Amino acid sequence: MGSTRARWIDWDGMDALDVIWMKRRPRPCSYVLLIHRLYSKGRVLGHKRAKRNTRPNTSLIQIEGVATKEDAQFYLGKRVAYVYKAKREIQGSKIRVIWGRVTRPHGNSGVVKSKFRSNLPPRAFGDSVRVMLYPSTV
């Protein structure tokens, strides 16, 4: 058996849509496909709330790498996807998505408010979401 050490990849010389096939060492017939993500990762913090009342129609999301209100401005209007697995298959897939949109910043630490087509369930608190990089305003 060969060495299982990771190989160095020159990410600077790649375009956004380049695809690299890397051969894995332990099994000679298996390949790993590496592509760039077209979304940013985020985390659901909870619903918008006061001390006692919760407002489940708006969710708070912390986006990875966003630390200020100015950074959060870039993500306003971007689409958000909460991807989860259900028990029952629909059209051959157990994967479901609840789509939403970033509406405005919340506070000064880069947290954003977002509204989803159907309110996020409380079991989504702490789960990750995908903040898509479209629609683009650049």
**Higher pLDDT pick, 19 / 129:** 129
How confident is the model at residue 71, as a pLDDT? 96
19-74, pLDDT tens digit by residue? 444 444 455 555 555 667 889 999 999 999 999 999 999 999 999 999 999 999 99
Domains of the chain: 39-132 (2.40.10.190)
Confidence grade of residue 138 (pLDDT, cut at 50, 70, 90): confident
Q: What is the 3-state secondary structure (H, E, C) of 86-133?
A: EEEEECCEEEEEEEEEEEEEECCCCEEEEEECCCCCHHHCCCEEEEEC
**φ, ψ dihedrals at 74, nearest 5°:** -60, -35
Alpha carbon 28 to its chain centroid, in Å, reads 32
Confidence grade of residue 13 (pLDDT, cut at 50, 70, 90): low
Tokens of 25: 């060492």
CA 10/CA 132 separation, integer angstroms: 25
